[in-house]
Structure 1
Amino acid sequence: MLVAFAMLNESRQHHRRRAQNVDRHRQSRGKNLMEDYFIPNSLYPVSKFQERYRMQPHLFQKIMHDICNYDTYFIQKNDACGVLGLLPEQKLTAALQMLAYGASAEQVDEIAKMGKSTILECLVRFCDAVKNLYMREYLRRPSPKDLQGLLQKAETRGFPGMIGSIDWMHSQWKNCPTAWQGDYGNRKGQKSIILDAIASFDTWVWHTFFGVAGSQNDLNVLGQSPMFNDVLRGHSPHITYQINNTIYSSAYYLADGIYPRWMTFVKTIPNPQS
Structure 2
Amino acid sequence: MKERTQNTLIRILTAVVALPVYVFLIVTDSLYSLPILLISIIVSGVCLWEFYQIAEGQSGYRPFVKTGMISALIINIVMYSYAYGNITGIGGITLNFDVRYLLAVLMLAFSVLATIHILKRPLKGGIYSLGATILGWFIIVIPYAHIMFLKSLRDGVIFIIFVHLVVMINDTGAYFGGVYFGKHKANFKASPNKSWEGYFSGLLFGIVFAILYSQFIEVFYGRYFFSIVESAIIGIIFSIIGNIGDLFESAMKRDGAIKDSGSIIPGHGGMWDVFDSTIFAMPLFYYYLIIRGIA
Q: Structure 1-normalised TM-score?
A: 0.25
Structure with the bigger percentage of helix:
2
Q: Structure 2-normalised TM-score?
A: 0.23
Structure with the bigger percentage of strand:
1
Higher CA-based Rg = 1
